[in-house]
């Protein structure tokens, strides 16, 4: 297979000798000596290829845990739902509502995690004979989480139980109002909690301070699934599933769990990884009308992979909440009529294209502001950008792009003419911006805010921008400094172009699904010649490499045009480079071929140790 590892760590300790690449990073072997020894033991005991063994070792898979890792099972990974604080109370109250035939309302967030959580719970309630009311707040007019007016409206429509999903943990005033109206509330959420919780029958949140479940890495949709499991068990105990009402196959709901988990960028470890692995299998069956319509409009012809959920399906679900009708995503996911689903999916696709145009314009402005603030010396721990006229629905995407470009936590804030701004932040591994935002709220710097380690939302006055910047710089600088020092590109292994085939891709995918917490393996192509490089599509750079043995590898560098990576590719046509990236199968017009997705390149000197 042409896999080479240790001999590519040359005398200076850098992989292939790359001390500074096109993107400014040092390349290092993901495995230290202990990791290499573990990889050898994995390969020998389990009779696995060297590269796969290296990948597993690089993700800290113990020799005895290899079989379980390669076959992530829900039954083996998921604990009893009752380990979550307040879960027994939540399950009993939901079961009571189902048995009594109460009017149940679902209040969800407007992102993919919220949409899939609401859709999953709605499907379960429908199977139990309850047609729920569903409310997804308008991002512009209502903002994040429950609000008093929406609570009052749901109560007026007859709701006696409101279940909030992916929100509610910090909604003291709205939930207090629900109590005064005689409406019970169950909260299913994963955002960080304050010491004082709102009044509710149950608040299921592994990040509340008295929860010892250790499930804080779950997305809201994963917690919603566990709530459904607990409720279903309670209904079974009561003898509810009898006669004509068949007990649902809960594993069929994992398509929603996979989509929400990947889109919310929570770590794909433990139970999350099992959720996504089995959810992808459910999606590949194409048995759900709404999901199938979504895959069709995204032109996803082959079996969906985890990255498809994050980059193709998730953005379209999100487009409704960002710049269109907030409930479009939920409506699609629970739709059973093919014609109706196709219309909703087409509308989401149109909105997504519109969103891309708005995002690109905003990113250009935000990058210019960030570069001016950081200066030529590239100083500063955090990027905070703000402007009037930005669409609040794209600020999270803009923050993510800023974080990628500048390698540090970033915030993008849309300012309204009245001086109030709403924005989002995205972070880098090792820097918890959710906790920092909570502290900013507690100290009175901003009006509202919350989130989790990697993402947060804020509401503030324009006058608070400078104090917030200063606060974040002081609070996050130590962690950012540590994280940026560790910002090397970790390489899992090296191959020649001739080894880049479909069998190798399938072998690597055995260690998936890949995403946050289980990073996609980074493979190096040592000393390959750039025989072709051109800008294509929306700021991408397509390239072709030739190895010393004459094999060719087709490559693509997404969003690299105008960036250092793209410029290096274009400037090195006809020259040898070391290339780093991931391997995938590209399906186009019924044909399947291997594609190398470029992460980084570095100019190469002739290299004697190539495979």
* Domain CATH number, residue 182: 3.90.1640.30
Query: pLDDT (tens digit, 9 = 90+) per residue, 272-286?
Result: 999 999 999 999 999
Average pLDDT over residues 501-519: 94
With CA atoms as reference, report the closest residue to 109 among 290, 263, 244.
Answer: 263
Structural domain includes residue 172? yes
Domain co-membership, 204 together with 318: yes
pLDDT band at 586 (very low <50, low <70, confident <90, very high): confident
Q: Residue 357 domain-assigned?
A: no
- The gap from C-alpha 156 to its chain's centroid, in whole angstroms, comes to 36
* Same structural domain, 23 and 54: yes
Confidence at 610, pLDDT banded by 50, 70, 90: very low
Dist. CA 119–CA 222, nearest whole Å: 12
- The CA distances from residue 327 to 121, 147, 222, 292, 343, in Å, are 15, 16, 20, 18, 14
- Per-residue pLDDT, 562: 86
Are 405 and 346 members of one domain? Answer: no
* 358 in a structural domain: no
Judgement on whether residues 379 and 400 belong to the same structural domain of the protein: yes
Domain housing 388: 375-485
Identify whether residues 203 and 254 lie together within a single domain: yes
Residue after which a domain boundary falls, among 436, 467, 485: 485
HSE value, Cβ hemisphere, 13 Å, CA-based, for 19: 4
Instruction: Give the tens place of pLDDT for each residue, 80-101.
Output: 999 999 999 999 999 999 999 9
Whether 446 is in a domain gets the answer yes
Of 485, 516, 551, which residue constitutes the final position of a domain?
Answer: 485
Q: Please, what is the average pLDDT of the chain?
A: 93
Asked whether residue 450 falls in the same domain as residue 543, the answer is: no
Is there a single domain that holds both residue 274 and residue 390? no
* pTM listed for this prediction: 0.89
How many alpha carbons fall within 13 Å on the CB side of residue 38? Answer: 19
Distance in angstroms (rounded) separating the CA atoms of residues 349 and 347: 5
Q: Are 521 and 462 part of one and the same domain?
A: no
Q: Are residues 294 and 217 in the same domain?
A: yes
Of the pLDDT bands very low, low, confident and very high (cuts 50, 70, 90), residue 609 is very low
* pLDDT above 60 for 4: no
Same domain, residue pair 211 and 315: yes
Q: Does residue 367 form part of some domain? A: no
325-360 tens-digit pLDDT: 899 999 999 999 999 999 999 999 999 999 999 999
**Span 542-558, average pLDDT:** 95
Q: Does some domain include residue 368?
A: no
**What three-state secondary structure class fits 597?**
strand
Residues 391 and 335 in one domain: no
Question: In this predicted structure, what is the pLDDT of residue 10?
Answer: 53
Q: Is the pLDDT of residue 482 over 70?
A: yes
pLDDT value of residue 405: 87
* 209 and 335 assigned to the same domain: yes
Residue among 566, 571, 564 nearest 537 (CA): 566
- Among 299, 329, 303, 304, which Cα is nearest to 316's? 329
- CATH number, domain with residue 407: 3.10.310.30
How far is it, in rounded angstroms, from Cα 401 to Cα 404? 5
Cα distance between residue 397 and residue 54, in whole Å: 33
Q: What is the number of structural domains in the chain?
A: 3
The arithmetic mean of pLDDT across residues 433-447, rounded, is 93
Q: How far apart are the first and last CA of the chain?
A: 9
Tell me what the mean pLDDT of segment 136-143 comes to. 89
CATH number of the domain where residue 532 is located: 2.40.50.460
Quote the strand ranges of 142-249, DSSP E.
161-165, 184-188, 202-204
Q: Is the pLDDT of residue 117 over 50?
A: yes
Asked which of 485, 513, 537 is the last residue of a domain, the reply is 485
In the chain, the percentage of residues whose pLDDT exceeds 70 is 96
Q: So what's the pLDDT on residue 513?
A: 95
Residue 224 lies in a domain: yes
* Mean pLDDT, residues 199-219: 97
How do residues 10-50 score in pLDDT, each as one tens digit? 546 799 999 989 988 899 999 999 999 999 999 999 999 99
Tokens 């992530």, located at residue: 72
> What are 231's two structure tokens?
């409720």
Using the predicted structure, report yes or no on whether residue 606 has a pLDDT greater than 80. Answer: no
Instruction: Examine residue 369 and state whether it is found in any structural domain, yes or no.
Output: no
> What does the pLDDT average to over 285-313?
94
pLDDT at 514 over 50: yes
- Name the H helices within 59-202: 66-70, 74-77, 87-100, 112-127, 148-156, 172-180
């Amino acid at each position: 297979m042409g896999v080479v590892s240790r001999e590519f760590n040359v005398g200076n300790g850098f992989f292939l000798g790359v001390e500074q690449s096109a993107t400014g990073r040092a390349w290092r072997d993901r495995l230290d000596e202990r990791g290499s020894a573990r990889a050898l033991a994995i390969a020998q005991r389990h009779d696995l290829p060297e590269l796969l063994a290296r990948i597993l070792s690089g993700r800290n898979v113990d020799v005895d845990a290899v079989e379980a890792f390669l076959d992530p099972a829900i039954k083996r990974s998921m604990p009893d739902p009752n380990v979550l604080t307040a879960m027994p109370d939540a399950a009993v109250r939901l079961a009571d509502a189902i048995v009594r035939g109460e009017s149940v309302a679902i209040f969800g967030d407007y992102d993919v995690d919220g949409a899939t959580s609401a859709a999953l719970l709605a499907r379960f309630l429908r199977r139990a004979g309850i047609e729920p009311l569903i409310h997804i707040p308008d991002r512009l007019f209502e903002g994040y989480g429950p609000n008093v007016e929406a609570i009052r409206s749901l109560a007026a429509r007859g709701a006696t139980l409101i279940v909030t999903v992916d929100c509610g943990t910090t909604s003291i005033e709205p939930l207090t109002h629900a109590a005064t109206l005689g409406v019970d509330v169950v909260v299913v959420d994963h955002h960080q909690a304050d010491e004082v919780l709102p009044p509710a029958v149950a608040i299921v949140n592994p990040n509340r301070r008295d929860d010892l479940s250790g499930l804080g890495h779950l997305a809201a949709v994963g917690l919603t699934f566990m709530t459904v499991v607990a409720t279903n068990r309670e209904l079974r105990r009561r003898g509810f599933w009898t006669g004509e009402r068949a007990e649902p196959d809960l594993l069929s709901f994992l398509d929603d769990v996979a989509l929400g988990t990947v889109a919310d960028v929570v770590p794909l470890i433990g139970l999350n990884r099992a959720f996504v692995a089995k959810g992808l299998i459910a999606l590949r069956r194409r048995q759900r009308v709404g999901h199938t319509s979504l895959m069709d409009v995204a032109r996803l012809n082959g079996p969906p992979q985890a990255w498809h959920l994050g980059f193709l399906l998730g953005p379209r679900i999100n487009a409704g909440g960002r710049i269109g009708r907030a409930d479009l995503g939920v409506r699609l996911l629970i739709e059973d009529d093919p014609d109706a689903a196709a219309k909703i999916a087409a509308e989401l696709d149109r909105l997504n294209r519109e969103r891309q145009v708005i995002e690109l314009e905003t990113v250009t402005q935000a990058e210019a502001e960030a570069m001016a603030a950081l200066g030529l010396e590239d100083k500063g721990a955090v990027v905070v950008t703000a402007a009037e006229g930005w669409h609040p629905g794209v600020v999270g995407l803009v923050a993510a792009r800023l974080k990628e470009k500048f390698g540090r936590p970033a915030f993008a804030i849309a300012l309204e003419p009245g001086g109030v701004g709403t924005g989002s932040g995205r972070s880098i591994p090792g820097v918890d911006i959710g906790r920092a935002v909570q502290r900013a709220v507690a100290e009175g710097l901003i009006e509202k805010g919350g989130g989790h380690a990697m993402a947060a939302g804020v509401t503030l006055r324009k006058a608070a921008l400078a104090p917030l910047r200063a606060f974040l710089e002081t609070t996050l600088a130590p962690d950012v400094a540590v994280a940026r020092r560790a910002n090397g590109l970790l390489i899992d292994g090296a191959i020649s172009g001739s080894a880049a085939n479909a069998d190798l891709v399938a072998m690597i995918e055995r260690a998936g699904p890949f995403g946050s917490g289980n990073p996609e393996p980074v493979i190096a192509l040592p000393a390959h010649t750039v025989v072709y490089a051109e800008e294509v599509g929306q700021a991408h750079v397509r390239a072709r490499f030739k190895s010393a043995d004459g094999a060719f590898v087709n490559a693509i560098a997404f969003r690299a045009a105008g960036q250092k990576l793209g410029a290096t590719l274009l400037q090195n046509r006809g020259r040898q480079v070391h290339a780093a990236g991931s391997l995938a199968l590209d399906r186009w017009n019924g044909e399947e071929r291997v594609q190398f997705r470029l992460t980084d390149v570095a100019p190469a000197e002739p290299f004697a140790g190539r495979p």
